Structure 1
Amino acid sequence: MDRAARIGHLGELAETMIGYVENKTTYQGDYTMTVPSASYCDKDVYDKEIETVFKKLPLMLAFTAEMPNPGDYKAMEAVGMPVLITRDKDGTVRAFLNVCSHRGAPVAEEGHGNCPRFTCKYHAWTFGRDGKLIGISDQKSFGDVDKSQRGLRQLPCEERNGLIFVTLDPNGSIDLDGYFRGYLDDFGDLDFADWHFISSRTIHGANWKIAFDGYLEGYHFQSLHPETIFPRTPSNTMHYEGYGPSMRISFPQHEIADLLKDVPRDDWGKRENFGYDFVRILFPNVSVFVAPEITQVAQLFPGPTPGENRTVLNYLCRNAPKDEAEAEKLEQMVNFFRDVTYEEDYVIGLEIQKGLESGAHEELIFGKNERGNQYFHEWLNWYMAGDPDAPEPVM
């Protein structure tokens, strides 16, 4: 599908959303679905999710906007794995385990920077941006070493439309086209690679699936977000589309019909944020909400125990701030988005965790109107089953 066809499709979605608002309806699945409460608490389930999902599938770990220049790097932790992402002088992005081949210390401190090489602070072994071992301190006294066999351990990595994906298994592979099935073209249409990275915030909450479930439906907007989200977006009014295990969720605004009535029908697909909004879900753990002034990208990682998650909230905007006053205004917006996400969503998630661990109910139930949650859990179960010949879930 080319860009014009994609815009046309978004226009059709706008028309569907107008119907939802006018008729007080929403997208409906064919059935209700139950999920065992233990899946949010059980250590064996948690361990299997990390091994079969988080360490095998492509994870969105960085943005082009975070490291746009040759020599830029990002060092981070992802589900307990130390990761180093680099940009070489020719623009190539690579990823490695941030582990020195001498004695296992990190070669870069966590965070961002720019440098031509990485030097381990333990014994000063030095590695290039391509991961090759280029220097051994006092090599004459150390002894013979085949440098070509002692580089950093490389991870599968690919950059696409402003997003950088990494597979945490050094022996794994990465196939973004097969995995996302055209969905990443959405980010190309947004010119996401040219956006400005503002900053990030880290919050902590309940089991990662409890937190992620909250990003997948608008059924709770009126009851949980009466003063923040509900004034803009009606509750329990959403549309779902699946792209492999990922999905796009469409949310109309209350005034969608009025906002689009004077816009030519062919341009309805260009009115994101001005009549309707999208939440773009990248399976297994990323939620992207594009707003006019600022965009929030949430990366959810399982925490150190089944009942915990670590969420990195990243914030970007289309253009860099013109001055310090504008930069300060953006940081204030970052803090507002962070506070709403934590105080309104993650706090109740912690209460849900206690409820599930109490054993009050053996299972949870997702309604026909919560098709996005069902779809997410169906795909998670599909990967956990480990049978590639089994039929894939369909939206």
Structure 2
Amino acid sequence: MTKVERFERIGDAAEAMLDYVENKHTQQCDSTLTVPHASYVDPDRWQREIDLVFKKVPLMLAFTAEMPEPGDYKAMEAVGMPILITRDKQGEVHAFLNVCSHRGAPVAEEGHGNCPRFTCPYHAWTFGLDGKLLAVSEKHLFGEVDKHQRGLRALPCEERSGMIFVCLDPDASMDLDDFYQGFLGEYDDLEFDKWTFLGSRTIYGANWKIAFDGYLEGYHFSALHPETVFPRTPSNRMHYAFFGPHMRIGFPHHAIGDNLKGLPREEWGHQENNGFDFARIFFPNVSCFIAPEVTQIAQLFPGPTPDKNRTVLNYLRREPYKDDADREATEAALNFFRDVTYEEDYIIGEKIQKGLESGAHEDVIFGKNEVGNQHFHKWLDWYLAEDQSAPKPAS
């Protein structure tokens, strides 16, 4: 799909959202969908989600803007696995398990940095940015070591559209074009690789799907966000476009008519944040909400037990900080966005977790209007099914 075609489709979405607001309706599925309550509480189900989804599909784990220079690295945890992402001297990105091949210690502390090599803090074995074992301390006393066989364990990794994708299975292959079905082109249109990384905040909540369900619909805006989201965005007016298991969710503004009707129809596809917003969802665990001031990109990971999740809220914008005053004001804004997400969404999620654990109901039900939730759960079930030859869910 070309850039022109992508903007034409956004214009079509804007036209649909204008209709939803003016005529008080929304996009719908053919029927409701029930999901067993065990999906949110069962330990075996939770482990299968980690093993068959999070450790098998490409995960967006970092941004080009986080580590733009040769020697930059990011060390992090994903579903209990220690991950090290590096940019070598030639500018190529790599991903490894952050585990020394001698005795298993991490070779880099969690966080960001820049260095020419990594030295294990336990016995000072040294590794290059490309993961190769460079030196064994006092090798003449240690004995023979095949350096080619003792590098860091590499993970499939690819940088595209301003993001770095990693598969947590060292033996997996990764085809981003097949997996994202052209969706990454929207980030190319935004020139996302040139943006500035502002930092991140981490919050904790209930089962990862309880939290993620909230990112997939706007049915709750008036009830849960009466003073933050609802003044800008009406409840229950959503427009979905699907790219395999991924989706773009359109949320119109109350003022969408005022913003669009004075513009030629061919310009509507260029009016994101001016009458409507989008949440771009990467299956299984990323929600990106692009705004003119600050963009929030949430990465949701299953926690150490089925009733927990760890969410990393990443913040980016097009321009770097102008000065110290700009930095201070922006940092305050980031804390505000984090607090709203936690206090308004994650607190209710923890209460939902207790409710589901009580066994009060055998299932939860998603309405015909909760199109994104239905799409997500159908795809998740497909990945968990033993028969991967079964037809994929329809978009």
Report if TM-score (shorter chain) is over 0.5.
yes
Deviation at 1:9, TM superposition (A): 1.2
Deviation at 1:171, TM superposition (A): 0.7
Aligned to 2:92: 92
Counterpart secondary structure, 2:254: coil
Aligned to 1:202: 202
Q: Deviations over 1:170-211 (max 9, x none)?
A: 111111000000000011111111000001000000000000
Counterpart secondary structure, 2:331: helix
CA distance in 2, matches of 1:9, 1:241: 9
Q: Given the alignment of the two structures, is residue 377 of structure 1 paired with residue 377 of structure 2, yes or no? A: yes
Runs of 5+ unmatched residues, structure 2: none
Deviation at 1:310, TM superposition (A): 0.4
Counterpart secondary structure, 1:12: helix
CA distance in 1, matches of 2:370, 2:65: 33
Task: Give the 5 Å matches for 1:143-222.
Answer: 143-222=143-222
Deviation at 1:390, TM superposition (A): 0.7
Q: Deviations over 1:326-347 (max 9, x none)?
A: 0111111101110010000000
Counterpart secondary structure, 2:320: coil
Q: Which amino acid aligns with 2:73?
A: Y
Q: Deviations over 1:356-383 (max 9, x none)?
A: 0001001000000001000000000000
**Dislocated runs of 4+, deviation >3 Å:** none
Runs of 5+ unmatched residues, structure 1: none
CA distance in 2, matches of 1:262, 1:334: 33
Q: Given the alignment of the two structures, is residue 319 of structure 1 paired with residue 310 of structure 2, yes or no? A: no
Percent identity over paired residues: 69
**TM-score when normalising by structure 2:** 0.99
Are the counterparts in 2 of residues 242 and 394 from structure 1 also a CA contact under 8 Å? no
CA RMSD of aligned residues (A): 0.6
Q: Which amino acid aligns with 1:5?
A: E
Aligned to 2:49: 49
Q: Which amino acid aligns with 1:264?
A: P
Deviation at 1:387, TM superposition (A): 2.1
Q: Which amino acid aligns with 2:113?
A: G
Deviation at 1:264, TM superposition (A): 2.1
Aligned to 2:223: 223
Counterpart secondary structure, 1:73: strand
Q: Deviations over 1:94-127 (max 9, x none)?
A: 1000000000000000000000100000000000
CA distance in 1, matches of 2:191, 2:264: 23
CA distance in 1, matches of 2:190, 2:355: 40
Counterpart secondary structure, 1:179: helix
Q: Deviations over 1:22-53 (max 9, x none)?
A: 00010000110000001100000001000000
Q: Given the alignment of the two structures, is residue 328 of structure 1 paired with residue 328 of structure 2, yes or no? A: yes
CA distance in 1, matches of 2:77, 2:65: 19
CA distance in 1, matches of 2:386, 2:248: 25
Aligned to 1:253: 253
Tell me whether 380-389 or 269-278 shows the greater mean CA deviation. Answer: 380-389
Aligned to 2:116: 116
Q: Which amino acid aligns with 1:224?
A: L
Q: Deviations over 1:73-92 (max 9, x none)?
A: 00000000000000011111
Counterpart secondary structure, 1:95: strand
Aligned to 1:363: 363
Are the counterparts in 2 of residues 208 and 302 from structure 1 also a CA contact under 8 Å? yes
CA distance in 2, matches of 1:198, 1:394: 37
Q: Deviations over 1:238-275 (max 9, x none)?
A: 01111011100001100101111222221111110011
CA distance in 2, matches of 1:235, 1:357: 28
Counterpart secondary structure, 1:169: coil
Q: Which amino acid aligns with 1:284?
A: P
Q: Which amino acid aligns with 1:279?
A: A
CA distance in 1, matches of 2:297, 2:386: 29
CA distance in 2, matches of 1:273, 1:387: 42
Counterpart secondary structure, 2:107: coil
Q: May I ask how many residue pairs the two structures share in their alignment?
A: 395
Deviation at 1:388, TM superposition (A): 2.4
**TM-score when normalising by structure 1:** 0.99
Counterpart secondary structure, 1:390: coil
Q: Deviations over 1:134-185 (max 9, x none)?
A: 0110011111111111000000001110111100001111110000000000
Aligned to 2:303: 303
